[in-house]
Structure 1
Amino acid sequence: MVTKKITIKIPTGLEARPVAILVQVASQYESAIYVECEEKKVNAKSIMGMMSLGLAAGEEVIVSASGADEEEAMENIEKYLSSK
């Protein structure tokens, strides 16, 4: 399992379209991927779960991935969340 603290740099934060893209990125991998913010932990492959976090630009989240392709999954999710 890999865990990383990532700051969201997407200017609009995670509203509908960026969440949909994040779910698509996460869904490419076999690994279980979770995003945690404050007391909430949701499956990164769940569009409704991700929307429920209501994340804004500049917020920090903890992303964890566990599975055969966890390193690659973490790398690409970090790349997406850190894009401007």
Structure 2
Amino acid sequence: MSGTTMIVLIVFISVGSGVIYDMYKKHLEFKHKMQNNNSDSNKQLSAVNAEVLALKERVQTLEAIVTDSSFAVKQEINKL
């Protein structure tokens, strides 16, 4: 192997390892950002789920009131 070939090979290995290291750093940064986004999304999802459960309970209460027979009688009396 000639001296020029060895120099080119050393430069190629040095540059290549630097590029691979930078790619790995970018990958880790991206992974960290995605984890933060996922945790924010999970918090929002939990809040929405809690709100949906509260609304379902309210709807059940309203359905119970409207389907109650005494409510229908009160409505008939109010119409008169």
Which range, TM-score by smaller chain? under 0.3
More helix by share: 2
Greater gyration radius: 2
**When the two structures are superposed, what TM-score results if normalisation uses the length of structure 1?**
0.20
